[in-house]
Amino acid sequence: MSSQTKGITSEASQPYKETFSLGKFIRTNGAQLGILGVFFGLWIVFIVSAPNTFLSSRIYFAFMSTIPFFAIMAIPLTMVVIAGEMDLSFPSIMAMGMVAFSFAYNATETSIESVSMRVILAFVVALLAGAIIGGLNGLIIVKFGIPSLVATIGTQFFWRGAVLVLTQGANYTLSYIKETFLYSVLVGKIGGYFPMQMVWLIVIAILGWVLLNRHKFGAHIYLIGDNAQSAQLMGVNTGRTRIQAFILVGLLSAFAGVVASFHVAYFWPSLGEGLLLRTLASVFLGGTSVFGGVGTILGTFLGAFIIGAIEAATVAVGLTGFWTQLIYGLIIVLSVIMHTYLGKRAG
Amino acid sequence: MDYRLELRNVSKSFGEVQALEDVNFQLGQNEVVGLLGDNGAGKSTLIKILTGYYQPTSGEILFNGQKVDHLTVPKARQLGVETVYQERALAELQTLWRNIFLGRELKNKWGLLDVQRMKEETYRLMNQSMGFTSSAVDPNSRVGTFSGGEKQGVAIVRALYFDAEIIILDEPTMGLSLKETAKMVNFVLGIKKAGKSAIFIDHNVLHVYNVADRVVVIDRGRIAGEFMTNNITLDKLMDKMIRVAETSSLD
């Protein structure tokens, strides 16, 4: 063992073996199993009630093309919520990232010839802008001690306002991106079917899982959300870790903004509006606790697909679109009740 | 010989409130010092300065005769200070292994957490070295489900595992059963035997008297006096404590 471990010398060391028991497995993974149950349960309901729609692959490619726009943001947002914080500004960051993109693209008109290169550079600038705005959120929250819910209500308005002022509220086409390399990398279709944004979502979800479960950053996120004072007493830099989490949300919101805009090759200054509650709902549906300390990436991932599928499903099942929100509400409330119940039993 | 740890003229104020005033405090090599004082006397503030959680408003902190500027929690831990906090500083929704390695996670060669090794070490320390045999005390179980004594065990193992030279125990017997308290007292005697130093804070004069080499009495942010435990009887120490509480003077 390492030099650190000499504190206690072990006698007759019997190596630790993890014993598997089904009961324990269910208790410790209750939230994830619960959301898996909801996911497959709803899926079966959808298939039974609208077999023509849900037994063909078309609907799934449609889901995989639109759900990633908010699911990508829901991954880092999960970390922020686990840390006991909240971020409501990410839809505005999506739009602000695209404003930065357009400014960078236009600024390089004379200096760089290749459109592909200009788009890649603009993409990097957009990510940078998102990360900086996220970092500012974190700084405001940590340095001034302002509750993140309140702070990000403020920055949400501020950055949406900045988008409107900088673009004068104009929407414009991004048709030039269609021929570029980045377009096919971000929103192309593999084999003409499988959307690249889904690949990015999977990559981000896997990286997010590693970061949250197999990295110090994630360990500290859980500890801060669970008991911030304990974390601080044990030498965790709670301020820096929280700022990093907000930077991640900013970065990936800008990324999602670029992906969503590329998908339609158009910029709307209202980009991201309407995604706020869907993204938050994915996180909470997935079993992340608003009180912090509890949450999983898998839960959020499934939550996003449930949220994304309900809208199409209500119509396919034969109900009018008016039913969508009612069913959203019902499933969210029931799932959160389920998670609270499972959370109490977790030992 | 240098003191293991020394505070020179340390003051700490929180806005208008003067929590510590001109405190001089020493902890010798292989010495157990008992810190006594009423609620709000400044004991907790004093230890939180030693652990780097609070920065003193003025004064110096020395480790082994070396002045240390701007002591932080990680720096204090590097210097061998480990604390068993009154509030235990646990994350109750998290698993046992995460709590044991809180703030100092073991990493593998890729910079990722070495979860397997942390679980093995947790099992070795809690179940084999500390003798917690209850099936509830498993590396994967959540600390929130533990009894008071088991939670205290987590806080102690955390202090021991990292080979601390100075162990600070803040009200370690609070909320413990008689049997667990006896175990705790034995543990402090064990620290002494292992050649380490400790600061033991408790309300109970008897517990402190039994384990400490020296007792420091703190009152209203000042050091009111100190006694070697082999020069004073327990009754006399009790009398003095009561007098301090009433008149803020030992004599």
Averaged over B88-96, what is the pLDDT? 89
Q: Which residues contact B163 (CB under 8 A, 6 or more apart)?
A: A4, A6, A7, B80
B196 secondary structure, DSSP code: -
Does B184 have pLDDT greater than 50?
Answer: yes
A20 in reach of chain B (CB within 8 A): no
Alpha-carbon distance of B62 to B26, in angstroms, equals 9
User: Does the pTM exceed 0.90?
Assistant: no
Q: Contact A4/B160, CB-based, under 8 Å?
A: no
Number of H helices, E strands in chain A: 16, 4
pLDDT given for residue A95 in this prediction:
97
Dist. CA B149–CA B174, nearest whole Å: 10
Inter-CA distances, A94 with A252, A269, B97, Å: 8, 10, 38
Structural domains in chain B (count): 1
Percent of chain A clearing pLDDT 90 (strictly above): 68
* Residue B111 located in a structural domain: no
**How would you classify residue A132: left for phi > 0, otherwise alpha for psi between -120 and 50, otherwise beta?**
alpha
Consecutive H or E run containing B8 = strand B5-14
Neighbours of A75 (CB within 10 A): 28
Hey, which residues 74-113 in chain B have their CB within 8 Å of chain A? 74, 77, 83, 85, 87-94, 98, 101-107, 111-113
Cβ of B238 under 8 Å from any chain A Cβ? no
Mean pLDDT of A25-47: 86
Of A342 and B165, the structure prediction assigns the larger pLDDT to B165
Q: Which domains does chain A have, with CATH numbers?
A: 33-43+52-345 (1.10.3470)
Average pLDDT, chain B: 86
What are the angstrom distances between the C-alpha of B136 and each of A173, A277, A342, B126?
61, 40, 19, 11
pLDDT of residue A3: 38
Is A7 in contact with B162 (Cβ distance < 8 A)? yes
What is the overall mean pLDDT for chain A?
90
Q: Average pLDDT in the A170-184 region?
A: 93
The percentage of residues in chain A with a pLDDT greater than 70, rounded to a whole number, is 95
- Give me the residue from A1, A230, A293 closest to B89, CB to CB: A230
d(CA B33, CA B229): 10
Question: Where do the H-state alpha helices sit in A144-296?
Answer: 148-167, 181-187, 196-213, 216-226, 228-233, 238-264, 276-285
Q: Which residue range is the domain that position B228 belongs to?
A: 5-80+164-247
Residue A177 makes CB contacts below 8 A (sequence gap 6+) with: A119, A183, A262, A265
Each residue's pLDDT tens digit, A311-343: 888 888 888 878 888 888 888 888 888 888 877
More confident residue, B136 or A224: A224
Nearest in space to B82 (alpha carbons), one of B5, B137, B174: B5
**Nearest-CA distance B3 → chain A (Å):** 22
Beta bridge partners of A189: A195
Best residue of A25, A234, A289 to probe chain B, by most B CBs closer than 10 Å = A234
Q: What does the block give as tokens for A203?
A: 């990559």
- Confirm whether the ipTM is greater than 0.90: no
> What 8-state DSSP symbol labels residue B97?
H
B118 inside domain:
no
Does residue B34 carry a pLDDT above 60? yes
User: A37 to each of A116, A314, A332, B85, B247, how far by Cα in Å?
Assistant: 45, 19, 14, 41, 67
Partner residue facing B103 (CB), from A10, A14, A235: A235
Q: Considering only the beta carbons, identify the residue of B72, B94, B145 that sits closest to A226.
A: B94
Q: Give which of A235, A283, A262, A314 is closest to A105, Cα–Cα.
A: A262
Residue B131 lies in a domain: no
Number of other CB atoms surrounding residue A329 within 10 Å = 11
| CB nearest A235 (choices: B77, B90, B112) | B77
Judged against a pLDDT cut of 50, whether residue B219 lies above it is answered with: yes
Pairwise CA distance, residues A271 & A263, whole Å: 12
| Inside any domain, residue B119 | no
pLDDT value, residue A15: 67
Any domain includes B186: yes
Q: Are A338 and A27 in contact (CB under 8 A)?
A: no
Asked whether the predicted pLDDT for residue A82 surpasses 90, the reply is: yes
Q: Which two tokens stand for residue A36?
A: 């898996």
Has residue A13 got a pLDDT over 60? no
End-to-end CA distance of chain A: 30
Mean pLDDT, rounded, for B197-214: 87
Which pLDDT score, from 0 to 100, does residue A9 have?
Answer: 44
CATH number for the domain harbouring residue B218: 3.40.50.300
A242 touches A113 (CB < 8 A): no
Q: Is residue B156 part of a domain?
A: no
φ/ψ of A189, rounded to 5, equals: -125, 125
Q: Among residues A227, A64, A97, A266, which one has the least CA distance to residue B98?
A: A227
A116 against A320, higher pLDDT:
A116
The answer to whether A145 touches A228, Cβ cutoff 8 Å, is: no
- DSSP codes, A4-22: GGGGS--SS-----PPP-H
DSSP string, B38-72: -TTSSHHHHHHHHTTSS--SEEEEEETTEE-SS--
